[in-house]
Every structure is written in C-alpha cells, then in structure tokens.
Amino acid sequence: MWGHASKDSMRETHSMYEWLKRGLDCVVAGGGLILLLPLWMLIALLVKLDSPGSVFFAHERVGRYGRKFKVLKFRTMVQDAPKRGGAITAGHDPRITRVGRILRKTKLDELPQLWNVLKGEMSLVGPRPEVEKYVNLWNPDLREMVLSVRPGITGLTQIRYRHEEALLAQQPDPERYYCEVLLPLKLASDVEYVQRRSLAFDLYLLGRTVSALFERE
C-alpha cells in the first residue's frame, strides 16, 4: 500500500516538474526570440557580410524518443562545409569563418535554438543533442534513458565539455578520439543529468552556463 502511494507521489512530482520545465522553456524562449531580435539582425548581417551563403545552418540531430529534428544555428562555417569534412569540428578547422569563430566562442551561434525550444523539440536544459551516427554507438540501455527527455541548449555535458573543439584540435585523429574517449564521457554525463534532473538543478545549470561564458579556457 505504501509502495503504491510512494510511486503515485513520485509520478505526481515528475509530472509537476515536466509541466514547470515546459512552462519555463516557453516563457524564456518566447521572450528571448522577441527581446533579442535586434541582436539577431546584427548577427545575421555580420554572417552575410563575412561569407556568402545562408544566415542559418540546420543540422539533423536525434531528439526525444529517437525523433530526428533540425537543430538551428547561425552559420559559422563556409556554405559547403559538409562537403569539405565530417561532423567533428576541431578548433583549427579551416571551414570556420572569421565571424563564426566569435559566434562559437561566445555561444551566440546557438541563439536560434530558442525556436527549437519553443517548438518543443528541445529544452533550455537537457542532454546534448547528438548526431545519429554517434547515437548508434551508445549503449542501448543508456541510449533509451537519455532519449527519454528533450535535449537541451545547455546542460551538464555542454558545460563540462564546452572546450571540446580546442581539445579535439590537439588530437592527431579527432574523429577516433571523439568516438573512443569523448563520446563515452559525454554519454555518462548525460545519464547523470537524467538521473539528477529537477527544476532546481536546471536553474543551477542555467546559472553555471552564464558564468561559464566568462571563464577562460
């Protein structure tokens, strides 16, 4: 009897968390899209002036329950970047434009993901959205756990491995290092987030994200 009551209480707590989390996502994403419009326009102009091509870049990722979706970002690489290399981007990658380097360093290239959040494809905080070829390398049980929640613009993994590109730039074989070293570490970090997730933890991670922008590499 007490076991059933405990489970019901946990379900109610989880449901309340999901409701509050989605409400926070909609308020922040909707407000951000409106209030940051002048900044969006400035970035769009700089991207167009810096190199020919589109302002935005949409890259397919695996979302909640394994559904694929397009992650939106301001374009930080040359227009034909996918034809010139793979999904792994190291710090010295020649495909990155001048404006793109600034956008990546400040994370401003990820502002368009607020639209993904508003659509319900992402959350402000969650596991890092990954490319399908790498998701297929995950442990099946852990994959199911991570994909049970919406991926996030920021999160435990995004904060811990925010200097990933600089780290990959030091490796003789970035692709191999990513698959054999970084991918398992990031998966473990995403699993940790799913196990610890709560509104208080999400707010903490949002605060850490802001402070991390001002930290040195």
Predicted confidence at residue 184, as pLDDT, reads: 96
pLDDT 10s digits, 105-137: 889 999 999 999 999 999 999 999 999 999 999
User: What does the alpha-carbon distance between residue 206 and residue 160 come to, in Å, rounded to a whole number?
Assistant: 13
The larger pLDDT score, comparing residue 217 to residue 45, is at 45
User: What does the alpha-carbon distance between residue 48 and residue 180 come to, in Å, rounded to a whole number?
Assistant: 37
Predicted confidence at residue 89, as pLDDT, reads: 73
Predicted confidence at residue 92, as pLDDT, reads: 72
Task: Check pLDDT > 60 for residue 5.
Answer: no
Task: Check pLDDT > 60 for residue 158.
Answer: yes
Identify the burial level of 33 via C-beta atoms within 10 angstroms of its C-beta, where 0-12 means exposed, 13-18 middle and 19 or more buried: middle
Task: Check pLDDT > 60 for residue 10.
Answer: no
Other CB atoms closer than 10 Å to residue 150's CB: what's the count? 23
For residue 212 the two structure tokens come to 């991390």
Q: Can you list the positions of beta strands (E) in 49-196?
A: 56-62, 68-74, 123-125, 152-154
Domain extents for the chain? 33-212
pLDDT exceeding 90 applies to what percent of the chain? Answer: 72
For residue 203 the two structure tokens come to 């707010």
Predicted confidence at residue 85, as pLDDT, reads: 66
Predicted confidence at residue 140, as pLDDT, reads: 95
pLDDT 10s digits, 182-208: 999 999 999 999 999 999 999 999 999
Q: Which of 28-37, 72-81, 127-136 has the lowest mean pLDDT?
A: 72-81
Picking from 175, 173, 87, the residue whose alpha carbon sits closest to that of residue 132 is 87
Average pLDDT score over residue span 83-104:
79
Query: Over the chain, what is the mean pLDDT?
Result: 90
